[in-house]
Amino acid sequence: MKTNFVFVAGGVMSGVGKGISTASIARILKEYGYKVTAMKIDPYLNVDAGTMNPTEHGEVFVTKDGLESDQDLGNYERFLDQDIIRENYMTTGMVYQSVINRERNLGYNGKCVEVVPHITEEIERRLRRVAQHQKADFVLVEIGGTVGEYQNLVYLEAARIMKLKYPDQIAFIMVSFFPVPSMVGEMKTKPTQHAVRALNSVGIQPDIIIARSSVPLDDVRKKKVSVFCNVSPRDIISAPDISTIYQVPINFERDHIGKRLLEKFNLKPKKSDGKEWRAFVRGIKRSTRPVKIGIVGKYFGTGDFVLSDSYISVIEAIKHGAWANRRKPEITWINAEEFEKSPSKVKQLSDYDGIIVPGGFGKRGVTGKLRAIKHVRENNIPYLGLCYGLQMAVIEYARNVCGMRSARTTEVDPNTKDPVIHTLADQVAKIKQKELGGTMRLGHYTCRLVPKTRVRDLYGKGSVQERHRHRYEVNPKYVPVLEKKGLQISGVNPGSNLVEIIELPKHRFFVACQFHPEFQSRPLVPHPLFVGFIAATK
């Protein structure tokens, strides 16, 4: 079977929307009737993203088969509306680890093992594996970082070699930034000219340039970029800033990116399926009644931009849930530590329509989160707890309703008298041995929903698969007393009997889950827990 590869590389600087561009192009090709998948190359030595700090690298997105990966895989899932799996992510650490393991097993028959060809061959093997296993007509391959960086050179080299071997099966797209400096007041194309030259210098000519800028690209500049970068004006796509990322595929199609790309492979659209997506984007614009959601978490000192990237799936899932209710989401980050310094500030939470405590790790902000949860529980404010947000809700209930003053998680206090949240025996061993990379409870586990509960109604079925990423669990020893005091366990894992979901039946909406529902929320298929949470707000 013939698979086409479309490599997407970035020019000038990062953070201009390469992931959204890749996801949007994937969506467009899918709407034209092709089988498409997308993958991400992260040029870091980390073997997965689980060991990278989210404030530096963005959210750790967990695939259903349990890989801790890059947030762009979440973008691909949301735009393509299909699951992306472990093999669709590659880091330099993974690539080198495979090559070194093979070398240790005499897999290279005494040859000197070199970056070229052995590393480039391993990269190609990983790309082809995705194509074969997933029987894709197109594999979009996003190369992390920016052209000209030392650490992504080997990937460009692998791509160049693939183009040499299969010239009609490879295309290159450059997503580049076009600044409009305030002191000159006009859009500048020179940085992109340099970036394309840098790509040329490693033997690659882009087929399409996506011009990311604050404003649309005009014809004068299109022509200039065309001449200097050696690309037809029809292959330069204007990509100005817009209010919602979900509009991007529609905007790209104004410049006919899909058909231009198909022509490069001598293909034509098989059908045109863009209706559902366009209706969804129209729905966003019609969602005008605001819903104010507060996310209570610990403060990251690196500014709002990084912060929103660290919780991108939570933020997108809130939006999906809001739009499904025709509400306009207004999301505010609330620093949990504020409630530690001045406890009376929790009253401010009553200004919100709903509160979320998302996933998290470690001690910082825990007391503040507990105070926030107490306030929303006692004041009937809709609450959705995600992973750590469930663990915190259980601790708060144990302390303030069941009277266990020393209820804690062993993550914060390993010697607590009442470890209502603790680790399973296998995890204790892993923590002791410092086997910490990729060893949490990860990926899909089954959750059986208890009949006649709120979540059973919301999901509309008796059993679901949800994605996990945690080391700690509700301690089964404490379940009877929690239940006796009115906490409803509404979802459990059938094999282990571990608590998956809790709820408070008498509360307006108080639901928390041990898994991360946000990873499975899609714009066209919003997650039932987020839809239900928003529906329960005023």
The reply to whether 276 belongs to the active site is: no
Beta strand 89-91 pairing with 463-470: unpaired
Q: Of 294 and 359, which CB lies nearer to ligand GLN in the complex structure?
A: 359
How far apart (Å, rounded) are the C-alpha atoms in residues 110 and 64? 39
How far apart (Å, rounded) are the C-alpha atoms in residues 212 and 175? 7
Q: Of 316 and 411, which CB lies nearer to ligand GLN in the complex structure?
A: 411
The reply to whether 320 belongs to the active site is: no
Structure tokens at 58: 């963005």
Q: What is the SS3 assignment for 194?
A: helix
| Residue 446, Cβ density class (10 Å: 0-12 exposed, 13-18 middle, ≥19 buried) | middle
Shortest Cβ distance from residue 54 to ligand GLN (Å)?
Answer: 10
Q: Of 195 and 512, which CB lies nearer to ligand GLN in the complex structure?
A: 512
Q: Of 252 and 472, which CB lies nearer to ligand GLN in the complex structure?
A: 472
Scan residues 396-425 and list those touching ligand GLN (CB under 6 A).
Answer: 411
Which of 160, 471, 507, 527 touches ligand GLN by CB under 6 A?
Answer: 471
Shortest Cβ distance from residue 395 to ligand GLN (Å)?
Answer: 12
Which of 359, 491, 523, 526 touches ligand GLN by CB under 6 A?
Answer: 359
Residues 6+ apart with CB under 8 A from 293: 318, 322, 329, 330, 331, 332, 352, 353, 354, 355, 356, 534
Shortest Cβ distance from residue 298 to ligand GLN (Å)?
Answer: 11
Catalytic residue among 387, 402, 447, 513: 387
Q: Residues touching ligand GLN: how many (CB under 6 A)?
A: 10
- Using CB under 6 A as the binding rule, whether residue 388 contacts ligand GLN is answered as yes
Contact, 68 vs 60, CB < 8 A? yes
Shortest Cβ distance from residue 200 to ligand GLN (Å)?
Answer: 44
Shortest Cβ distance from residue 360 to ligand GLN (Å)?
Answer: 5
Shortest Cβ distance from residue 46 to ligand GLN (Å)?
Answer: 18
Q: Which stretch binds ligand GLN (CB under 6 A): 96-104, 106-114, 127-135, 359-367?
A: 359-367
Q: Of 169 and 308, which CB lies nearer to ligand GLN in the complex structure?
A: 308
Contact, 503 vs 511, CB < 8 A? yes
Residue (of 209, 218, 160) closest to 187 by Cα position: 218
How far apart (Å, rounded) are the C-alpha atoms in residues 74 and 64? 11
Q: Which stretch binds ligand GLN (CB under 6 A): 76-84, 250-258, 284-292, 353-361?
A: 353-361
Q: Of 217 and 387, which CB lies nearer to ligand GLN in the complex structure?
A: 387
Shortest Cβ distance from residue 21 to ligand GLN (Å)?
Answer: 29
Shortest Cβ distance from residue 311 to ligand GLN (Å)?
Answer: 11
Structure tokens at 458: 């919301």
- Using CB under 6 A as the binding rule, whether residue 360 contacts ligand GLN is answered as yes
Q: What is the SS3 assignment for 228?
A: helix
Residue burial 91-118, b: 16+ Cβ < 10 Å; e: rest: bbbbbbebbeeeeeeeeeeeeeeeeeeb
Q: Of 211 and 387, which CB lies nearer to ligand GLN in the complex structure?
A: 387
| 342-348-350 Cα angle (round to 5) | 140
Q: What is the DSSP string of 502-523?
A: EE-TTSSSEEEESS-GGGG--S
Q: Of 387 and 407, which CB lies nearer to ligand GLN in the complex structure?
A: 387
The reply to whether 114 belongs to the active site is: no
Which of 89, 339, 383, 472 touches ligand GLN by CB under 6 A?
Answer: 472
Q: What is the SS3 assignment for 530?
A: helix
Q: Per-residue x/- mask for ligand GLN, residues 431 to 470, rule CB under 6 A?
A: --------------------------------------xx
Catalytic residue among 57, 470, 516, 527: 516
Structure tokens at 231: 């690309």
Which of 211, 231, 356, 387 touches ligand GLN by CB under 6 A?
Answer: 387
How far apart (Å, rounded) are the C-alpha atoms in residues 19 and 71? 9
**Binding site residues, ligand GLN, CB under 6 A:** 359-361, 387-388, 411, 469-472
Question: Which residues are catalytically annotated?
Answer: 387, 516, 518
